[in-house]
Amino acid sequence: MNKYVEKVIAYVKEKYQDQPEFVQTVEEVYTSIAPVMDAHPEYEEADLLMRMAEPERIFRFRVTWMDDQGKVQTNVGYRCQFNGAIGPYKGGLRFRNNVNESVIKFLGFEQTFKNSLTGLPIGGAKGGSDFDPAGKSDAEIMRFCQSFMTALYRYIGPDIDVPAGDIGVGSREIGYLFGQYRRLKGNFENGVLTGKDLTFGGSLIRPEATGYGAVYYLQEVLKHEGDSIEGKKIAVSGYGNVSWGIMKKAAQLGAKVTYMSGSAGYIHDEAGIDTDEKLDFILDLRVKNSKDLKSYADRFGCEFYPKAKFWGVDDVDIYMPAATQNEVRIEEAEKIVRSGVKYYMEVSNMPTSSEAIAYLRENGVIVAPSKAVNAGGVGVSALEMSQNSERLEWTAEEVDQRLKTMMKDIYDKSLDAAQRYGLGYDLIAGANIAGFEKVAEAMMKQGIF
């Protein structure tokens, strides 16, 4: 492999050994782009990879709030503005108890290349807090969000950094965050956040966008195999708004999601999670931060498997991990290979260990990377920013059509990049290279810093 790439990976591994998620992403992306470095010695001269692995800045701040019992609670908040070479920083906020600097940095690094892939002018960022929304009242969520924004507002803005949702942050949280921003700034800069409610500048299709985009991307992969989505059965991990979007779009296109999972177990619904009633039920679980997936089985008369994971079931055509990072390690990958299922579409950010990806691919499973498959979410966030700056609203059909085109472009771009470097049908390397190229060129042209 390219010596400079090896050197930078070794450096990052040594320096950030306490940040395993971040190290894994850097190693994966930089290994993929090694052929680009061979072709561009000027990138090494500019020490581009070392610079790209260091966030432009990270804010870490105290978030203190009062719970419903009147007790003072303190959490840690983060915002990592990873790379602003191609546009204002853009990326979600994650509220979850396992959030730490490693998680925020890995997500920000991934976001940089993903945002570049969308073809829209957005840089990469991520933020969040170790605050866990599970079991919190609405009033507690509001006070937490107000405190979080009070700490963050001076560092963001429509042309600076535009946060959005991620795990634990949905339209309700974005509403409270925006309210506090507006109150502090005394203006109506609604382009400062995306994923807003429709009453103050949210975009139609944004809630569905990540899931819809994933299914559009899947359609391209199936087309490449001479196959189609009609009649396909899908196992989706997670039951958040991304999984919900996948279920909805799959149903519209004549496929169905028959498995979904949560931390307490999984559901097998052979009839398909495809009616409005079922989809609304899932949305409601999410809104309530409920972990009670079993209630779905009770209500719709299907099976709930407590404390179990579905990896290895063979009565589906496609696996789509859509819950969180590190869902599939080698043990699960072996089960997937034994199941004979041919398609593995990553949807959540970095759901698969490096060893598991290698094992799946060696055994003929078609693997698509999350930074391409889930890019429709942030892509539609960028469309929300455009609508806000023009002070107008596009119709659902218009946004959906743009999303569809964007996903096809991302797929084509990735394939083209892989082919240009003689890598064949490698959607992972292709996405990494295509995302990298634009950021690299922009940084080269902006001078050394």
Active-site annotation, residues? 126
Q: Which is nearer to ligand 2IT, 372 or 440 (CB)?
A: 372
Q: Does residue 80 sit in helix, strand or coil?
A: strand
Q: Does residue 74 sit in helix, strand or coil?
A: strand
Asked if 91 is part of the footprint of ligand 2IT (rule: CB under 6 A), the reply reads yes
Member of 21, 166, 332, 437 binding ligand 2IT (CB under 6 A): 166
Q: Which is nearer to ligand 2IT, 127 or 265 (CB)?
A: 127
Asked if 371 is part of the footprint of ligand 2IT (rule: CB under 6 A), the reply reads no
Q: How far apart are CA 76 and CA 62, in angstroms?
A: 5
Nearest distance in Å: CB 92, ligand 2IT: 3
Per DSSP, 87 falls in state: S
Q: How far apart are CA 250 and CA 416, in angstroms?
A: 27
Total of chain residues touching ligand 2IT, rule CB under 6 A:
12
Looking at 141-149, 218-226, 370-378, 431-439, which segment touches ligand 2IT (CB under 6 A)?
A: 370-378
Which residue number places its CB atom closest to ligand 2IT?
A: 92
How many C-beta neighbours within 10 Å does residue 2 have?
19
Q: Are 121 and 86 in contact (CB under 8 A)?
A: yes
Alpha carbon of 185 to those of 157, 181, 390: distances in Å? 10, 6, 20
Q: How far apart are CA 266 and CA 268, in angstroms?
A: 7
Asked if 348 is part of the footprint of ligand 2IT (rule: CB under 6 A), the reply reads no
Member of 75, 381, 388, 414 binding ligand 2IT (CB under 6 A): 381
Asked if 90 is part of the footprint of ligand 2IT (rule: CB under 6 A), the reply reads yes
Q: Does residue 305 sit in helix, strand or coil?
A: strand
Q: How far apart are CA 27 and CA 31, in angstroms?
A: 6
Q: What angle do CA 106, 110, 115 make, to 5 degrees?
A: 145
Give the footprint of ligand 2IT on residues 15-34 (CB under 6 A): none
Asked if 431 is part of the footprint of ligand 2IT (rule: CB under 6 A), the reply reads no
Q: Which is nearer to ligand 2IT, 195 or 430 (CB)?
A: 195
Asked if 164 is part of the footprint of ligand 2IT (rule: CB under 6 A), the reply reads yes
Print the binding letters for residues 231-270 with ligand 2IT: x by CB under 6 A, - otherwise.
----------------------------------------
Asked if 116 is part of the footprint of ligand 2IT (rule: CB under 6 A), the reply reads no
Total H helices, total E strands in the chain: 18, 12
> What's the distance, CA 300 to chain centroid?
30
Looking at 75-83, 138-146, 376-384, 392-400, which segment touches ligand 2IT (CB under 6 A)?
A: 376-384
Which residues, in sequence order, are CB contacts of 213 under 8 Å at separation 6+?
373, 374, 375, 376, 377, 379, 380, 403, 406, 407
Give the footprint of ligand 2IT on residues 188-227 (CB under 6 A): 194
Q: How far apart are CA 412 and CA 430, in angstroms?
A: 9
Nearest distance in Å: CB 413, ligand 2IT: 17
Q: Which is nearer to ligand 2IT, 24 or 374 (CB)?
A: 374
The residues binding ligand 2IT (CB under 6 A) are 90-92, 111, 164, 166, 194, 349, 374, 377-378, 381
